Amino acid sequence: MTDSSSRDTVHSSVPIPQATHTEEDERTFAPVIETTDLSVYYGDYEAVRGVDMLFGHNMITAMIGPSGCGKSTVLRCFNRMNDLIPGARIKGTVTYHGQNMYADEVDTIEVRRRVGMVFQKPNPFPKSIYDNIAYGPKVNGWKVDSMDDIVEEALTKAALWDEVKDKLKQSALALSGGQQQRLCIARCIAVQPDVILMDEPCASLDPIATSKIEDLMQALANDYTIIIVTHNMQQAARVSDRTAFFTAEVDDDGVRHGRLVEMDWTKNIFTTPADSRTEAYISGRFG
C-alpha cells in the first residue's frame, strides 16, 4: 500500500501537519539566510559536510535528525557562535540577506544582534526581570526615550508581560523554567533582531510550558524568521513551515559526517518525504 492514507498510518506517532503554506508562499519565498556547500570543522574533524539550505523570511524552519548529526553545529553558524569555539571553522558560504556573513568586514556583535539565539537551558542573567531586558539596548548604547516602553514591548511580545508586570524588579532567577525561557526570548527581542535561532528551547520544559513556547513561536513568526533545532518530531510537525532533516553517515573517507538529507515544506517531509532515510527516521525505524 503506497497511498497517502497508509503513510499517515506509518507516521501515526507524529501529527500530520496542516498545510501551513500556500501557493503564494511558494511564489514569494524570500531567503533570509542561505548556505552553499557549507562544511563545519572542529579542528581536523569535518562535523558537517556540504550543506545547501535556504531559510525563508518570517517562516519557522525546524532542523531535525538523530543526536550528533550536526544540527546545533549548523545553527551556530547562522550567528557566528561557532567562532567562540576554539578550532571551529567553516568552508563554503553563509549569506544573510545576500551578504557574506563571514566576510572580514562583518561585525560579529552586529550579526548576533540581528540574529539572536535562545538556548536549551534558559540562561537569564542573575539580575532583575527588568534589567535582563534593558541589558541589550544599554550595551548597544542605544539612546532610548523610554526604557520602560522597550521592556514592556519585549515582554508583551514574549507573552510574559501579564505574568511579571508587577514584579519587574524581582530576580529573573525566581521565575519558573518556562517563564525564564520566555524572558530569554524577550531579551532577544529587545535588541530588535530579524532572525531568532532556538536550540532545543523546550528540552528542559514541561508540556504546558512547551505548549506556551510553541504558541509564542507561531506568533513571533509574524515578525521574525525563526530557526529551531528540535529532537522532537511532533514539535517540528506542529510548529514549523519548513523542515530540514539531517543524518550522520560514514562517508567514502571512512569518517562519520553530518549531512543534510532533505529540506522541504513540513507537510511534505512528514507525509511524502523524497528520501527513504527521512521516512525511516520519522516513522521511528532509526535514530
Residues near ligand ADP (CB under 6 A) are: 42, 47, 65, 67-73, 85, 258
Task: Give the Cα separation of 137 and 123 in Å (integer).
Answer: 18
Contacting residues for 129 by C-beta, under 8 A, at least 6 apart: 155, 164, 167, 168, 169, 170, 171, 172, 175, 183
Least distance (Å) from ligand ADP to the CB of residue 66? 7
> CA-to-CA distance for 232 and 132, rounded, in angstroms?
29
The DSSP call for residue 85 is S
Shortest spacing between CB 76 and ligand ADP, in angstroms: 8
Q: Which is nearer to ligand ADP, 73 or 266 (CB)?
A: 73
Q: Which long-range contacts (CB under 8 A, 24 or more apart) does 261-268 make?
A: 261/65, 263/53, 263/54, 263/61, 265/20, 265/21, 265/241, 266/17, 266/20, 266/62, 266/236, 266/237, 266/240, 266/241, 266/242, 267/16, 267/17, 267/18, 267/19, 267/20, 267/21
Q: What are the C-alpha distances in Å from 235 to residues 56, 203, 214, 246?
A: 19, 11, 8, 16
Least distance in Å: CB of 118 to ligand ADP? Answer: 15
User: Bridge partners of 256?
Assistant: 250
Axis-axis angle for helices 207-220, 177-189 (nearest 10): 20
CA–chain centroid gap for 120, Å, is 11
> Which residue's CB is nearer to ligand ADP, number 70 or number 122?
70
Question: How near is the Cβ of 74 to ligand ADP at its closest, in Å?
Answer: 7
Residue 73 or 232 with smaller CB distance to ligand ADP = 73
In DSSP notation, 151-181 reads: HHHHHHHTT-HHHHTT-TTSBGGGS-HHHHH
Minimum CB separation of residue 171 from ligand ADP in Å reads: 31
* Beta carbon nearer to ligand ADP, 29 or 42: 42
CB of residue 230 to ligand ADP, shortest distance in Å: 10
Q: Nearer to ligand ADP by C-beta: 89 or 167?
A: 89
Q: How far apart are CA 226 and CA 12, in angstroms?
A: 27
> Would you say 49 or 182 has its CB closer to ligand ADP?
49
Which CB atom, from 61 or from 271, has the smaller least distance to ligand ADP?
61
Report the residue number, 50 or 68, with the smaller CB distance to ligand ADP: 68
Tell the smallest beta-carbon distance from residue 34 to ligand ADP (Å): 20
